[in-house]
Amino acid sequence: MSRSIAVLAVVAGLVTGCAKGDKGTTPTESGQGCDVYYTISETAELAPEKDRKVDGKQTTAVRVSAGAAEDTYFIENGASHLLLLESSRDGRTSTTTYDSFGDKFPITLPPKEKTMSMSEFRSQIMGG
């Protein structure tokens, strides 16, 4: 099941150099196109046992899993907005909440001396 999601992926885009208009054009460090930030994998399957309300809105759960990794996307019924992403990687879990669709927000990038490359970031997060 493939479903393009119109989500605010500003942080991912800024970190990788991918802007929303670059879908599929600019390669990421993993060699994938920028559309990886705006598309749910074609291997996704409906997970009706996980369907639930998120912030009072009924969602449909869609799960993608491969090996020790699993993502469950909670997509708002009728609006196709991604409201929640629950991820698990090798026993580590994370939850990302999405809201404010269509709202404009000012974004100010930090000065260069307060930034780091993705490899530095991964090294610090992964402890390697």
Distance CA 95, CA 31 (A): 25
Residue 117's pLDDT is 85
SS3 state of residue 126:
helix
Q: Is the pLDDT of residue 75 over 60?
A: yes
Residue 27's pLDDT is 53
Q: Is the pLDDT of residue 18 over 70?
A: no
Residue 32's pLDDT is 67
Burial profile 35-44: b = 16 or more Cβ within 10 angstroms, e = fewer = ebbbbbbeeb
Burial class from Cβ neighbours inside 10 Å (0-12, 13-18, 19+) for residue 75 reads buried
Q: Is the pLDDT of residue 118 over 50?
A: yes
